[in-house]
Amino acid sequence: MGPRAFLDASVLYSVAVTDLLLRLAAEELFEPLWSLKVEAEWTRRLLEKRPDLKADRIQRRANRMREHFSRAVVPQSAYLPYLSKIELPDKGDRHVVAAAFAGGAEVLVTYNLKDFPEAALAPFELEPLHPDAFLTDLLEAEIRANGQPRRTLAGIRALRAALQNPPSPEAWLRAIAEKHELRNFARALQSFLGQI
């Protein structure tokens, strides 16, 4: 099993990014963590931005995530004692760092790096990473260890096979690069295009 990574609401909000991350977690490239408060945040934001989606559909997605990754949720009782020790630009984000620390995460994966300064996370031995950097690191680590990113490619193939109308590998890479800001990860996967 790879590193423990706490997934912020900004990452879990996107179905495409969440599916990619959790497919790679299912391949045991990393162990995902989040909290119920983070879950409530991404579900609320998704309902606000996408009123066409039904609340019960979003809740089913959250429930399935918890079922598949039964050890992912860091309980509130585990992280509450750390809240007062955390200094961030927005006090409302302290629960993210507290839950990541309590869960034993090494990495905090977030699109909102400005909200989680490295200096504030250093005492908790927690590294903030953009999802592009995190995914690229996972890919490169697997290549270094095994010569081939077999588990990464297996996760991507499983993700694409589950889509009703899967795009071509080229179109899928273009979409994750442009729509989801995963440019370095997409670029690193180019040489494995025939295996996606």
pLDDT number for residue 72? 98
In whole angstroms, give the CA distance from residue 50 to residue 58: 10
pLDDT number for residue 53? 85
Vertex 133: Cα angle to 60 and 128 (nearest 5): 80
Average pLDDT, the chain: 95
pLDDT number for residue 1? 76
Instruction: Name the token pair of 10.
Output: 């900004």
Within 10 angstroms of residue 47's Cβ, the number of other Cβ atoms is: 14
CATH number of the domain located at residue range(s) 4-132 in this protein: 3.40.50.1010
In whole angstroms, give the CA distance from residue 27 to residue 2: 10
pLDDT number for residue 101? 98
Hey, what's the torsion of the CAs at 102, 103, 107, 109, to 10 degrees? -100
pLDDT number for residue 52? 87
DSSP letters along 4-54, please?
A: EEEEPHHHHT-HHHHHHHHHHHHTTSSEEEB-HHHHHHHHHHHHHH-TTS-
Helices of type H across 27-164: 36-49, 55-68, 76-79, 94-102, 118-121, 131-146, 150-161
pLDDT number for residue 54? 87
Q: Which of the two residues, 26 and 164, has the higher pLDDT score?
A: 26
User: pTM for the full model?
Assistant: 0.95
Q: What tens digit of pLDDT does each residue of 40-82 get?
A: 999 999 889 888 888 898 999 999 999 999 999 999 999 999 9
CA-to-CA separations, 95 to 126, 191, 194, in angstroms, rounded: 14, 39, 42
| Ranges for all domains in the chain classified under CATH 3.40.50.1010 | 4-132
**Cα 195 to chain centroid, rounded:** 23
CA atoms within 13 A on the CB side of 178: 6
